[in-house]
């Protein structure tokens, strides 16, 4: 399914397989993920932000619709929060490759972090809710399989209701980030994500 992301760049499946591009990209992604955990370098956080935004844009670029871009906010929101928190004042190449000493939390950067993370949750839920409502690329087919795996055979109206429920959650999370609501969103998202595994 990921072969579609190479087409906007004129890369046909034969080339992708010949040069093992997907395993190479996957390996590099894993290396970056470990680096984010253990090497707090600005350049890694900046790269993670760029790469996750770029790969999220590949979805509408390859014809999958903008809901897919929004739904990937969970990928690009957190590294963006790290980059903004560590500061954008890179005066030299050395600073780009230096270990980050995060500034002390103050009201200004705390508000900034909270805003980026609330926006991340909001975009993610808008994207996922849109899958249920607008059915771009026949997403409802796999969502129906997910719910059927736990014995719930949903109708189209059920799907649309779930979509609007998720979008209403995002509005609440953005404007009224109450702890109990955020905990519910965590449980909801973990539960619906688990349906991928349950449905095979």
> pLDDT (tens digit, 9 = 90+) per residue, 56-109?
999 999 888 889 999 999 999 999 998 888 776 666 777 777 777 777 888 888
The model's confidence at residue 42, banded by pLDDT at 50, 70 and 90, is confident
Question: Mean pLDDT throughout 187-191?
Answer: 93
Give the C-alpha separation, 185 to 183, whole Å: 5
Phi, psi angles (nearest 5°) of residue 155: -90, 170
pTM flag (> 0.85): no
Query: Do the beta carbons of residue 183 and residue 169 sit within 8 Å?
Result: no
* pLDDT of the residue at 53: 96
Q: What is the largest CA-CA distance in the chain?
A: 58
E-assigned strands of 92-142?
Answer: none
């Amino acid at each position: 399914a990921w072969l579609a992301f190479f087409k906007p760049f004129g890369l046909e499946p034969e080339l992708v397989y010949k040069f093992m591009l997907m395993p190479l990209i996957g390996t590099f992604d894993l290396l970056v993920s470990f680096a984010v955990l253990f090497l707090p370098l600005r350049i890694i956080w900046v790269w993670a932000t760029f790469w996750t935004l770029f790969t999220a844009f590949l979805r509408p670029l390859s014809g999958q619709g903008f809901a897919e871009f929004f739904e990937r906010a969970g990928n690009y929101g957190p590294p963006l929060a790290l980059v903004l928190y560590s500061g954008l004042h890179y005066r030299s190449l050395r600073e780009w490759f230096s270990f980050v000493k995060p500034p002390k939390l103050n009201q200004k950067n705390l508000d900034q972090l909270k805003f980026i993370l609330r926006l991340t949750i909001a975009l993610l839920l808008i994207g996922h809710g849109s899958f249920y409502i607008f059915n771009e690329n026949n997403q409802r087919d796999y969502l129906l399989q997910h719910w059927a795996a736990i014995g719930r055979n949903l109708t189209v109206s059920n799907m649309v209701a779930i979509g609007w429920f998720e979008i209403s959650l995002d509005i609440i999370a953005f404007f009224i980030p109450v702890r109990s609501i955020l905990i519910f969103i965590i449980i909801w998202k973990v539960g619906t994500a688990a349906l991928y595994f349950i449905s095979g």
